[in-house]
A and B are shown apart, each in its own frame.
Chain A
Amino acid sequence: MIVADQKPINEILGMLERYDKVLFVGCQTCVAVCMAGGEKETGVLASLVRLARQKAGQPIEIDEAAIQRQCEEEFIEPLEADGYQAILSLGCGVGVNKLADHFGIPVLPGLNTGFMGHIEEHGVWAETCAGCGDCVLHRTGGICPVVRCAKSLMNGPCGGYTDDGLCESGTGAPCAWIAIYKRLKELGLLESMTETSPPKDWSKDRFSGPRTRVREDVRL
């Protein structure tokens, strides 16, 4: 899923400064699961903004909505935005882009979109795929070196891992290559670590402009 985090409340208040009638739109898919921009978080944020603006003597009128997916036109279609000066989207960046394309009013981001990840435990999310467009997980025991190694190394660890198997960067993240080594060893596939991985084709990653995918057979 896409993991996001709410922007600091003061940044949101700053974006909303010039408006007094705004629609807050949550998204009920990824960002609801990661507790950043679902219906509930939309309600909490709207309440907080109303309180803050009331306290500042500049009341704001906020209506709340939450749609199933901000990244799909068919869910956006029924949404009415007439009479609002702006929309604050609590969807991921995709949702903000999509709502901005759809409505002729400013659409503001309520979240900082982070990464594609999984739920490690309740309240903890971790990044496990970079979306690099050229998957190598079959060679690395299902542990992604592109995103789980801070240097995206493809041929084994650098010299910086700690005795506890943590990354030198000090982020507290485990060294991806020590994890890969252990996994491959368990699987009896260590020889795949001894084969040299050639330089990666980063043009398949996000560095060559926006990527699109077309499946002609399912187009209408």
Chain B
Amino acid sequence: MQNNVTPDETETFEPKIIAFCCHYCAFAAADLAGTMRLQYPPNIHIIRLPCTGKVDALYLLKAFEEGADGVMVAGCEEGSCHFTNGNLRAKKRVHHVRDQLEQTGIEGERLEMFNLSSAMGSRFAEIAHLMTDRIRKLGPLFGNESAN
């Protein structure tokens, strides 16, 4: 009975999640996850960046505009950026865009920054699960306006 409380669409909703991944860590970690044959949801669409420092507010917003239900930025662990502090800059930009999204009524949780190293294949798979579950619970970015 309790399961019926959740609408059917949410149960079967497969979110589209864009992951902006740093070449030196998250992208390699995703690769490793594959080599390790770890299962992770196919909802994650990876875009490789030379560094998360390349992330721009416009990338994040355009991803949402073009149909993403969630966006993640995955960079090196703090202090380990290949370009010294690109990941710290990305963090500030992600926070800024999150704030702006929240002010306009869009859940900030749809956008998240993660930090991991290239050796963390299983952590990447874990993040992919976490993000997919989170966005699945939130539902599609658009399309349920009347329900609100």
Interface residue ranges, A against B (CB under 8 Å): 8-10, 13, 40, 43-44, 47-52, 54-57
Contact = CB atoms under 8 A, between A and B. Distances in A.
B100 A55 contact: no
Given A54-B142, A57-B145, A57-B146, A44 B105 contact: no
Interface of B: 56-58, 61-62, 64-65, 100-101, 103-106, 141-142, 145-146
Contact of B105 (A40, A50, A52): A52
Q: Which of A8, A40, A54 has the largest count of B CB atoms less than 10 A from its CB?
A: A54
Given A9-B100, A47-B65, A57-B146, A52 B58 contact: no
Contacts, number: 44
Contacts of A40: 56, 58
Given A44-B58, A44-B61, A48-B100, A56 B142 contact: no
A56 B103 CA distance: 12
Given A9-B100, A10-B103, A48-B100, A55 B145 contact: yes
B58 A51 contact: no
Given A44-B61, A48-B104, A51-B101, 5 more contacts: A44-B57, A47-B62, A49-B104, A52-B106, A56-B105
Contact of B106 (A13, A43, A51): A51
Given A9-B100, A10-B103, A44-B57, A51 B64 contact: yes
A90 to B, nearest CB: 14
B89 to A, nearest CB: 11
B114 to A, nearest CB: 22
Contacts of B58: 40, 43-44, 47
30 contacts: A8-B103, A9-B100, A9-B103, A13-B104, A40-B56, A40-B58, A44-B57, A44-B58, A47-B58, A47-B61, A47-B64, A47-B65, A48-B61, A48-B101, A48-B104, A51-B61, A51-B65, A51-B101, A51-B104, A51-B106, A52-B104, A54-B142, A55-B104, A55-B105, A55-B106, A55-B141, A55-B142, A55-B145, A56-B145, A57-B146
